[in-house]
Amino acid sequence: MINTLLKQVKQYRTAALLSPLFIMLEVVLDVLIPYVTASLIDKGINAGHMGNVYIYGATMLGMAFLSMLMGILAGQYSSYASSGFACNLRDAMYRNIQTFAFSDIDKYSTSGLVTRMTTDVTNLQNAFQMILRITVRAPFTLLFSIVMCIVISPRLSLIFVVATVVLGIILGVIISKVAKTFAKVFKQYDELNNAVQENVTGIRVVKAFVREEHEKSKFGTAAQGLYKLYVKAESLMALNSPVMNMVVYGCIIAISWWGAHYVVGGQLTTGQLTSLFTYVMSILMSLMMLSMIFVQVTMSAASGERVAQVINEIPDIVSPADGVTEIRDGSIDMNHVSFAYKGGSGEYALHDISAHIASGETIGVIGGTGSGKSSLINLVSRLYDASRGSVMVGGRNVRAYDLTALRNAVAVVLQQNVLFGGTVIDNLRWGNEDATLEQCREACRLACADDFIMQMPQGYDTRIEQGGTNVSGGQRQRLCIARALLKQPRVLVLDDSTSACDNATDAQIRANLRHQAPEVTKLIIAQRISSIKECDRIMVLSEGRLSGFDTHDNLLRNNKIYQEICALQEEDAGDFDAPESTRKEVEA
């Protein structure tokens, strides 16, 4: 994981290395300054030599200025390196996500990917900057200070060694306990958030059942739990400061005692004694800093793990190196195709399906929830790969095609369709970047979208909000169909794409496609029998198996499942007001 992450430092490597270098120089200067101070006192003030006071004062000022310069440079480089590092991480993740197959996206989930690219990266950026700035400074200060102490008085330095070891051990114990408790704190935090979220989204249920008190006590318990854990973790951490103080004070007393002896004995000067006091502080401060960094780095390790996972993910489907870019026609052949979702229960979503569709045919697909309709058509544009058997388009195995070429030839209008922030025409041009306004309008006419677009305030230049929230569900579906048509595909797949349109519009779109795009093979998934009745042939799926593939009339005669669906729908279970599924957006 660390390797993967470090690779992303890339062009910021120089900055990342320069920053600790400058910090080291800064530390050297910082540590030397008290030494000069000692001389200032001993050789200048004590000796009553004003000349020396000026010399050492000037030296000290010069060093302070240099140290400031180093500090500023280190700060610049570390912020440059860490912001660049974060930028590269996001970029690397985003780049790899673009190569993800559908199965990879399913694995991480959309919200999972979003958190990884935002919160986790921010955590890593902070940790990186801290490592650059402090992780180098603290041990270096520690080491250098100890060296200086030894230079001044080897015997008195023993005190530091003892103090450092004692403090190191105590802090180590505290940190390891704190880290564990904080892990629990974060978990409890998630639970608390979950409680709030459930309450807020389900508030109608809460109020309808008058469960306010029940909810309060549920939340109270979670909040109380968090409180206890937090107090526990922070109390442990609060030990840090008194422990450190105690050690520092111990050192001061010990140094005072022996120091006095040495000064009296003439082995030490007063100035050196004062410098020693300064070094005590910096040694113990740097230990303290180390302990904090350690906790923070442990905490960001989880983020690092999650980010590295995305960067290193090898996509399930990759385009072949010398893929075929020409798709001859829209014929589709499925030979004994079986399919199971990766990471699913391992059960087959599709069993041994064989079907042959001629170019230009219109095929309906029907079946209950979970019967495998979407799974089946997703294989055609290679959004997923078949587990067994082969899927052919235009007489060739889909695996032989260049992925871009294949997906441009097989246009899919997904069930969960999305519009993006931008104008109507921007969204349409996803289908074909170079499409003229007239081409776009033509596609929209086919999809019965032109009328309502023209009624919008700015027509094709009207802004669509993120997620397409300012158009109704039916309008969104029609825009998505138009967008797919602009690709001028050989195969058009509509996955329940007109469910929010009223019956008349639904029928109109189908008629338009039939008459104006006769050479395109059309695969239409629908819930309503009326939407697919007139198709050339209809696939009936049941529990992942192809139970029938024939015309409406023949199926009605021979296929039990089809008969049942028809009977239920015609009898009473039809949708009363299908456009109703747009209701949610309108009210939200």
**75 or 335: CB nearest another protein:** 75
Taking the complex as a whole, the smallest distance from the CB of residue 478 to another protein amounts, in Å, to: 15
Token digits for 158?
Answer: 């023993």
3-state secondary structure of 475: helix
Sites for another protein among residues 413-472 (CB under 8 A): 414, 416-418, 420-421, 430-431, 433, 466-467, 472
Q: Which of 212, 305, 451, 461 binds another protein (CB under 8 A)?
A: 212
Q: Which of 122, 312, 354, 436 binds another protein (CB under 8 A)?
A: 122
**195 or 358: CB nearest another protein:** 195
**3 or 98: CB nearest another protein:** 98
C-alpha dihedral sign at 492, 496, 501, 502: positive
Alpha-carbon distance of 30 to 67, in angstroms, equals 7
Size of the site for another protein (CB under 8 A): 183
Q: Which of 113, 380, 492, 546 binds another protein (CB under 8 A)?
A: 113
Mask for 251-270, x = binds another protein (CB under 8 A): -xx--xx-xxx-xx-x---x
Sites for another protein among residues 532-561 (CB under 8 A): none
Taking the complex as a whole, the smallest distance from the CB of residue 433 to another protein amounts, in Å, to: 8
Residue 213, beta-bridge partner list? none
Q: Quick one: which of 483, 314, 468 has its CA closest to 413?
A: 483
Report which DSSP code applies to 133: I
Sites for another protein among residues 302-341 (CB under 8 A): none
**354 or 564: CB nearest another protein:** 564
Q: Which of 10, 25, 32, 46 binds another protein (CB under 8 A)?
A: 46
**389 or 579: CB nearest another protein:** 579
Sites for another protein among residues 162-201 (CB under 8 A): 182, 185-186, 189-190, 192-201
On whether the CB atoms of residues 270 and 47 are closer than 8 A, the answer is no
Mask for 133-162, x = binds another protein (CB under 8 A): x-----------------------------
Alpha-carbon distance of 419 to 465, in angstroms, equals 8
On whether the CB atoms of residues 62 and 54 are closer than 8 A, the answer is no
C-alpha dihedral sign at 277, 279, 283, 288: positive
Categorise residue 541: left if φ over 0, alpha if ψ from -120 to 50, beta otherwise.
beta
On whether the CB atoms of residues 185 and 233 are closer than 8 A, the answer is yes
Vertex 362 angle, CA 359 and 367, to 5°: 125
Taking the complex as a whole, the smallest distance from the CB of residue 237 to another protein amounts, in Å, to: 7
**228 or 336: CB nearest another protein:** 228
Q: Which of 8, 103, 129, 531 binds another protein (CB under 8 A)?
A: 129
Alpha-carbon distance of 94 to 359, in angstroms, equals 37
Sites for another protein among residues 393-422 (CB under 8 A): 403-404, 407-408, 411-412, 414, 416-418, 420-421
Q: Is 208 in the site for another protein (CB under 8 A)?
A: yes
User: Looking at the chain, how many residues does it have?
Assistant: 588
Taking the complex as a whole, the smallest distance from the CB of residue 107 to another protein amounts, in Å, to: 12
On whether the CB atoms of residues 310 and 105 are closer than 8 A, the answer is no
Token digits for 254?
Answer: 């010990």
Binding part of the chain for another protein, among 125-133, 145-153, 327-335, 510-518 by CB under 8 A, reads: 125-133
**274 or 397: CB nearest another protein:** 274
Report which DSSP code applies to 487: T
Sites for another protein among residues 12-41 (CB under 8 A): 26, 30, 33, 37, 40-41
Q: Quick one: which of 335, 253, 337, 240 has its CA closest to 289?
A: 240
Contacts of residue 36, Cβ cutoff 8 Å, sequence gap at least 6: 56, 59, 60, 63
Q: Is 365 in the site for another protein (CB under 8 A)?
A: no
**402 or 536: CB nearest another protein:** 402
On whether the CB atoms of residues 87 and 278 are closer than 8 A, the answer is no
3-state secondary structure of 36: helix
Binding part of the chain for another protein, among 63-71, 153-161, 438-446, 513-521 by CB under 8 A, reads: 63-71
Taking the complex as a whole, the smallest distance from the CB of residue 336 to another protein amounts, in Å, to: 26
